[in-house]
Amino acid sequence: MTSQTALVVIGIAWGSGALGRSLGPVGVVVSGLVAAGGLVLWRRWLPEAVLVAVAVVCSVSGWLAAADQRSVLEAPVPEGLRAMTVRVVSDPVAERDGWRSVVQPVELEGLAWRGPALLARGDLGEVRAGDLARVEGRLRKEAFTLRGDAVAGTIGVVAVEPIGGSSGLAVLANSLRERVASTIIPSASSSSALVVGFLIGDTRHVADADLDAMRQSGLSHYVAVSGSNVALFLAAWWLLSGPLAMTTRRRSVLGLVGLVLFVAVTRAEPSVVRAATMAALVLIGRATATPIDGWTAVGGGVALLLAVDGSLVADIGFQLSVAATLGVMAGIRLFRGRSPRWLWAALGASLSAQAAVTPLLLIHFGGVPLVSPVANVITAPLVTASTAVGMGAVVTGIPALSNCAAWFAGLVLGVARLGTAWPQLGVVGVAVVAVGGVVAMTRARPLVAVVSAVVAIATVLPVPLPSVPTLTVLDVGQGDAILITEPRGFTVLVDTGPDPVVLRNALRRHRIRRLDLLVVTHGDSDHVGGLAAVPAPDEVWVPDHADLPVIDAWAGDRNVEVTRVESGMVFTAGELRIHVLGPSRRYASDNDGSVVLLVEAPGAPLVLLPGDAERVALGDLPDLAPDVVLVPHHGAGTTDPRWLQGLDARLALISVGAGNPYGHPAPAIVAALQDVAVCRTDLDGDLVVPLEAPMTIPCDQD
C-alpha cells in the first residue's frame, strides 16, 4: 500500500465513522454513496468494493458507538445508599478529595444488575482494573463523559472490599504492573514516577505540574506508550523467549501473544492499541509470508480499529497518535542526505509529527508548544534509554538500573521544565511559523534568520515592568493566589491556589519567571496546593505558630529561607511597604492563624489581604480603612458582615471558583458589600488593580 492509498483509506474510514456518529443511519447511507461516487478517482489504488465496505462498516460502527453512549447517559440510576458488586474498569486516579474509578455494576443488593457505567469516588482501597469488588455508597444520577467514556451516575464510596474474580489475563497484567511499581518505586521521586509512565503509561504518581510541563513542551506523548514502546517491548519479549522464538513463524506468534499482554498491562490506551494493531499486522504478514509495509500497517490498522470501535473517531489521544504516526512516516526522509544523518532524521520526524498534530492541538487545546521540535530531538534518545534501562531493571530487579533509568527520566523532566518558559503558539503564531518555513525554502533565508531572532528575543525577554505597583488576584479557581509587582521589579506571590497546573498557566499569562517573596497565609490545600509550580523565591513567609512540613520540605529542596512572621513585622521593597497585621497570637482555628497583610505605596490605595482569617482573628485586627480588600475566606459566612461593612472599602475582590460546592460567596457577605464595587475571579477572571490614584475598578459594574 502506498502512502496515497493509506491516506485515502484512513480518510474514508474516519470521515465515515464521523458521519455515522453524528447522523446515524443517514450517515451510513451518505458514507456509502460518497465512497461509491469516488470510485472514479480511487479505483487505481484499491478495488471499489473495499472502499465501499470500509465506508459502510466504519459509519455503522460510529452510529452504534454514539447510540451506546446515549443509552448510558440516559440510563436510570437507583439513587440513595446502595450496596453492589462492580467490575472495576479503570485504575483509581487521585483527585482533590480522594480517588475516582470507573466501575461497571454486576449485582445490586443481591440481584443481578448489568447497570450502566458509574464513577466511584472516595477511598477505593486496593482495587485495580479488572477486579470484582463489593461497594457500599450513595448513588446519584449524574450523566457526563469522562475522557470520552459515558458515565450514568456517581457513587460516593463509604466501604469497598475486593473479592477477586479477575480473568487470567487481568491477573497477569496486574502482576506485571506491580512488578514495575515495586522495582521502579514511582513514589520515590518525580523521575522514578516518569519511568513508570514511559514503561506502562501509569502517570498517577507524576506530579500534575510535571505532567503539565511535559504537555507545555510537547513531550506528553512519551507517557502515552506508543510505537517505540511496543518495539522495545517486543525486542525484550523475544530476547526472554529464547529458543521458543527461533523461527520466523514462532517469533511472530509469540509476538502476537506479547502484544495482547502489553495492551492489557498498559490498560488498552488508544495510542497503545493503535501501535499494537500496526505491529500485529506486520507480524501476521511475516507469519503468513505476506510482506506488509509501514503504510499498509497504518492504513489497515486505523481502518480496522475504527470499524471495531467507532468511538475512537472522537478520542483525542487516538487522533493525536494517528496524526503523529503519519507525520513521522512522511517526514523521516525530509532532510535525507544531510549530515549528521541521525540528527536530521530525528529533526525531520519531529517537525513532521508536530506539523501533523498542530491542527488538532489548536482545536482541542488552543495552543502549540513553540519548542516542541527541539525538545523532542533532545529528549528522544533520553526517553529510549530510560525505557530500555527501566525494562532491564524490571526483568533483573537490579536497583542500579532503576536509578539509572530515573536519572535519564530526570533529564527529560529538566528539558520539560525549561520548555514551560517558552510560549504556546496560537493560530496567528502557527501561521507566522508556517510562512517562515515556506520562506526558508526559498533564497530569502537571511530574512528568516532576522525574523526568527526578533521572535526569539521577544519571547525570552521578560514582560516590561509595571509603571506603578500592581495587585493581581489570579483566577486559580477555588483558592487564593495574589500577585504583587512594583516598578523596580520586586515580585510577591501571596498563596498558590489549589492546583500547580492552573497556577503555572496564570504565572505564564503574566510572564512571571522569578519571585522575591512567597507568602503562605496558612496550610490549607486551596492556598498551598499549587506549590510545585512556584519558581524558587528568595524568601518564604509562613505564619508563626503553624506546623507546615510541606512548606519546610519544599523550601529545603530549593534552598529557600523560611521566615515565621507575626504581627508588627514590616517588609520594604522599592515603593512597597508590606505590614504584617496577623497572626497576633495562637488560635484554635488554622484559618484564624492566617498571615494578614496590609500593602501600601506612596499615594496609592491601601490594600488588605486577610487570607482565610475568620471572626475571632478579624476582631483582633486594629481599626482599618483600606481602599481595597480581598474578602476573607473566599466570601464564606465565617466573616462578620458588620466588620466587613466597617472597613468602608471602595473595592472588594473575591477569589472564588465557579460552581464551588461551598456556596461561596455567602449571601450575607454579598449583602454586606452591596454599596461596594465587587469583582470576582469566577465571573471576571484575573483581577488587575494598578495601585495608583484614581483607583481603577478591574471589572464591569453594570
> Could you tell me if 153 and 139 are in contact, meaning their C-beta atoms sit under 8 angstroms apart?
yes
State whether 506 and 603 are in the same domain: yes
State whether 629 and 685 are in the same domain: yes
Report the CATH number at residue 126: 2.40.50.140
> Could you tell me if 590 and 575 are in contact, meaning their C-beta atoms sit under 8 angstroms apart?
no
Q: What is the pLDDT of residues 287-330, one digit of tens each?
A: 888 888 888 898 889 999 999 998 888 888 888 888 888 888 88
Give the per-residue pLDDT at 36. 64
Q: How confident is the model at residue 223 (pLDDT cuts 50, 70, 90)?
A: confident
Q: Could you tell me if residue 60 is inside a domain? A: yes
* CA dihedral angle for residue 346, residue 351, residue 356, residue 361, rounded to 10 degrees: 110
Q: How far is CA 222 from CA 151, 332, 371, 483, 589, in A?
A: 28, 18, 16, 34, 45
- Report the C-alpha gap between 303 and 412 in whole angstroms: 34
On the question of pLDDT at 151 being above 70, the answer is yes
State whether 64 and 84 are in the same domain: no
State whether 69 and 127 are in the same domain: no
- Report the C-alpha gap between 636 and 435 in whole angstroms: 52
State whether 491 and 620 are in the same domain: yes
Give the per-residue pLDDT at 203. 85
Bridge-partner residues for 118, per DSSP?
103, 153
Q: Could you tell me if residue 35 is inside a domain? A: yes
- Report the C-alpha gap between 630 and 481 in whole angstroms: 11
Give the per-residue pLDDT at 136. 92
Least confident span in 229-243, 410-424, 622-636:
229-243
Looking at the chain, the whole-number percentage of residues with pLDDT higher than 90 is 28
Q: Could you tell me if residue 92 is inside a domain? A: yes
Least confident span in 333-337, 554-558, 581-585:
333-337
On the question of pLDDT at 415 being above 80, the answer is yes
Mean pLDDT over 167-193 rounds to 86
> Could you tell me if 206 and 197 are in contact, meaning their C-beta atoms sit under 8 angstroms apart?
yes
Last residue of a domain, one of 44, 74, 104: 74
Last residue of a domain, one of 166, 191, 211: 166
Return the ∠ at Cα 320 (arms to 204 and 214), rounded to 5°.
45
Provide the angle, in degrees to the nearest 10, between the axes of the packed helices 190-200 and 372-396. Answer: 90
Give the per-residue pLDDT at 170. 84
State whether 541 and 481 are in the same domain: yes
- Report the C-alpha gap between 608 and 497 in whole angstroms: 18
Give the SS3 label for residue 1.
Answer: coil
Asked if the peptide bond before residue 694 counts as cis, ω within 30 degrees of 0, the response is: yes
State whether 516 and 446 are in the same domain: no
Q: What is the pLDDT of residues 419-461, one digit of tens each?
A: 877 777 777 666 766 666 656 555 445 545 555 545 544 444 4
Give the per-residue pLDDT at 96. 61
Q: How far is CA 291 from CA 51, 288, 299, 604, in A?
A: 21, 9, 15, 77
- Report the C-alpha gap between 585 and 620 in whole angstroms: 9
Q: Could you tell me if residue 177 is inside a domain? A: no
Q: How confident is the model at residue 633 (pLDDT cuts 50, 70, 90)?
A: very high
Give the per-residue pLDDT at 460. 47
Q: Could you tell me if residue 212 is inside a domain? A: no
pTM of the model as a whole = 0.71
φ, ψ for residue 482, nearest 5 deg: -120, 130
Q: Could you tell me if residue 180 is inside a domain? A: no
Report the CATH number at residue 549: 3.60.15.10
Q: How far is CA 284 from CA 111, 255, 291, 470, in A?
A: 44, 10, 9, 65
Mean pLDDT over 170-190 rounds to 87
Looking at the chain, the whole-number percentage of residues with pLDDT higher than 70 is 89
Give the per-residue pLDDT at 632. 95
Domain hosting 437: range is 428-460
Q: Could you tell me if residue 526 is inside a domain? A: yes
Helix H, strand E, coil C: the string for 16-62 is HHHHHHHHCHHHHHHHHHHHHHCHHHHCCCCCHHHHHHHHHHHHHHH
Give whichever of 143-157, 328-342, 399-413, 559-573 has the largest mean pLDDT.
399-413
Q: How far is CA 687 from CA 57, 475, 590, 628, 684, in A?
A: 53, 8, 27, 12, 7
Give whichever of 176-180, 542-546, 680-684 has the largest mean pLDDT.
680-684
Residue that wins the pLDDT comparison between 422 and 13: 13
Q: How confident is the model at residue 677 (pLDDT cuts 50, 70, 90)?
A: very high
- Report the C-alpha gap between 637 and 630 in whole angstroms: 14
Last residue of a domain, one of 57, 74, 91: 74
State whether 157 and 70 are in the same domain: no
Give the per-residue pLDDT at 614. 94
Give the per-residue pLDDT at 457. 46
Element (H, E) at 82: strand 80-88
Give the per-residue pLDDT at 578. 92
CA 468 to chain centre: 36
Give the per-residue pLDDT at 702. 65
Number of CB atoms found within 10 A of residue 7's CB = 17
Give the per-residue pLDDT at 523. 92
State whether 521 and 596 are in the same domain: yes
Q: How many domains, in total, are found in the chain? A: 4
- Going by DSSP bridges, is the β-strand pair 470-473/482-485 parallel, antiparallel, or unpaired? antiparallel
State whether 454 and 593 are in the same domain: no
Residue that wins the pLDDT comparison between 512 and 40: 512
Q: How far is CA 330 from CA 44, 200, 322, 326, 650, in A?
A: 21, 27, 12, 6, 61
- Going by DSSP bridges, is the β-strand pair 424-425/491-494 parallel, antiparallel, or unpaired? unpaired
Q: Which three cell numbers stand for residue 519?
A: 507568602
- Report the C-alpha gap between 496 and 476 in whole angstroms: 8
Task: DSSP letter for 694, please.
Answer: S
Q: Could you tell me if residue 146 is inside a domain? A: yes
659 CB-contact burial (10 Å; exposed 0-12 / middle 13-18 / buried 19+): exposed
Long-range contacts of 25-32 (CB under 8 A, 24+ apart): 25/63, 27/59, 27/62, 27/63, 28/56, 28/59, 28/60, 28/63, 30/59, 31/55, 31/56, 31/58, 31/59, 32/56, 32/59
Q: What is the mean pLDDT of the chain?
A: 84
Give the per-residue pLDDT at 510. 85
Q: In sequence order, what are the residues at sequence separation of 6 or more whose Cβ sits closer than 8 angstroms to the Cβ of residue 511?
A: 462, 463
Q: What is the pLDDT of residues 464-498, one digit of tens each?
A: 667 788 999 999 999 999 999 988 888 999 999 99
Q: What is the pLDDT of residues 25-63, one digit of tens each?
A: 777 777 766 666 665 555 554 556 677 788 888 888 888
On the question of pLDDT at 599 being above 60, the answer is yes
Q: How confident is the model at residue 670 (pLDDT cuts 50, 70, 90)?
A: very high
Give the per-residue pLDDT at 270. 86
State whether 446 and 491 are in the same domain: no
Q: What is the pLDDT of residues 229-272, one digit of tens each?
A: 788 788 888 777 776 666 778 888 888 888 898 888 888 888 88
> Could you tell me if 105 and 114 are in contact, meaning their C-beta atoms sit under 8 angstroms apart?
yes
State whether 105 and 129 are in the same domain: yes
Give the per-residue pLDDT at 43. 53
Q: In sequence order, what are the residues at sequence separation of 6 or more whose Cβ sits closer than 8 angstroms to the Cβ of residue 64?
A: 20, 310
Q: In the β-sheet with 596-600, what is the strand arrangement from edge to edge? A: 570-573, 576-582, 596-600, 607-609, 628-630, 651-654, 677-680
